[in-house]
Homo-oligomer: A and B are copies of this chain.
Amino acid sequence: MAGKQATLDAADAVQPDNGGSKSARTRQRILDAAAKVFREEGYAGARLADIAAAADTKAGSLYYYFASREALVEEVLDEGLDRAFGETRRRVDALSADTPTIDRLATAIRAHLETVLKLDNYTSASIRMLGHVPEPIRARHMKRQAVYGAYWRELLEAAGAAGELRDGLDLSAARMLLLGMLNWSPEWYRRGRLSPEEIADQAAAMALGGLRK
């Protein structure tokens, strides 16, 4: 056996065994393939045989690394959340301490959306699949996701407390509508006329215009 839960925290730079052993690399290759196929086909449409083919192996071999299809799904979901949250927080934290709250919000919007639009398979797959996954998996994931939701709530509340938001705005509704605007994008975005950055600019301008005083 080789499988281990791969919790990709900052912590795993310590134990340099991730891209390390061949086994670990194969596991990663399968997970990457799963993310890709789940993003493209959705939860129901992705068969283990498709995932195996994308990872250049056979369906039966997946079980050497993952206990079940659902285990694979769950790990893709979690990794997708970690990537969106990680990238968003990283870019917001990189702002200087005196950055106005409204600009922090703009940065978060761009970071989240660019992560999705750059076809990060994990994040896109995670967003698309969550509502279609079996209940126990969804429940577990939503608990983890709540942390990211709280992060957005804080961003909005900080902007509100700084008096930068329009009067009459309901922060809960605004948060869900805003995240919806971003999260629906995997359904329509295809490489095309506008780059991810350009679309992210449009989204940030649109959202801030709608939120700010």
Contacts and interface: CB of A to CB of B under 8 A. Distances in A.
A66 interface: no
A176 B170 contact: no
A interface, over-half SS:
helix
Contacts of A188: 176, 180
Contact of A180 (B42, B44, B185, B205): B185
A68 interface: no
A151 interface: no
Given A132-B44, A178-B181, A208 B210 contact: yes
A179 interface: yes
Given A170-B198, A181-B184, 17 more contacts: A42-B132, A131-B187, A169-B206, A173-B203, A174-B206, A176-B185, A176-B188, A177-B206, A179-B184, A180-B180, A180-B184, A180-B187, A180-B188, A207-B210, A209-B210, A209-B211, A209-B212
Contact of A194 (B166, B173, B198): B173
Interface of A: 42-45, 128, 130-132, 134, 166, 168-170, 172-174, 176-185, 187-189, 193-194, 198-199, 202-203, 205-212
B202 A169 contact: yes
A168 B207 CA distance: 14
A125 B205 CA distance: 31
Which 10 pairs from chain A and chain B are nearest by CB? A180-B184, A44-B44, A210-B210, A206-B210, A209-B210, A42-B132, A181-B181, A173-B202, A184-B184, A176-B188
